Amino acid sequence: MIELLHLWQLQSVNVAAEQNVNSLLIAYVILSLIINRPALLLVYLSSEMLYQLSVFDFLLEWQLFAIECIMYSYVFTTLTSIKSKSACAVLFSIALYFIYDAHKYGATENYEGYQTILYKNIECIFTCAHIIFISSFVSIERIRNNIRNFVNSIGRIALNSDYMFFCWYNIYKIQSTKQKT
C-alpha cells in the first residue's frame, strides 16, 4: 500500500512538472515574440531537451548542468537591462549550485538515499527562477501608466455624458436623504 502511495506521489509530481514546462514554454514563446529575442526561447528549449532526450544520456548530470550554465552565460552577455541580467544571474547561480551538488553526490546507486533539500525541489526552484527571469522583462511602469490612462479615459467619457450626470445626481440625492435621516 505504501509503495502504491509513493508511486502515485511520484506520478503526480511528474504531471505537475510537465504542466510547469508547458506553462513556461508558452510564456517563453510569448516573451520571445514580444521582445523579438528568440535566443531566450532557444536556451529554454535547449535546456529542457538536455534532460528529456535520450541522445544526452551518456552525459553525467553535472555535465548537463554545466552545459546549462554555459547557455545562461551566453544569455547574460546578450541582455541589456540590469534587472534582466540579475534574474539571469539567479538562473546561472542555481545551475552552478546544482553542478556542485550533482558532482559531489553524483547519480550513483546510493544517491537515491541521500538527496539535498534543494535537489528534491529542483523543479520548483527552476520554475520560480524562470518566472523571475520572465517577469524581469515586464515593465511595471508601463502597465501602471496604461491602466492609469485607461481609467482616466473612462472618467473623461463619464464626465461628458448626460446619463452619468443624471446617475450621479440621483446617487447624491439618495446619499443626502440617508444622511438626514
Residues 58 and 31: their CA atoms lie apart, in Å, by 33
User: Mean of the per-residue pLDDT values for the chain?
Assistant: 77
Whole-number pLDDT of residue 1 = 40
Most confident residue range from 9-13, 142-146, 168-172, 174-178: 142-146
CA distance 5 to 44: 33
At residue 6 the predicted structure's pLDDT band, cuts being 50, 70 and 90, is: very low
Average pLDDT over residues 72-89: 88
Section 141-166 average pLDDT: 79
Which residue, 107, 14, 18, is CA-closest to 58? 107
- Flag the least confident range among 7-11, 124-128, 134-138: 7-11
Q: How far apart are CA 61 and CA 103, in angstroms?
A: 8
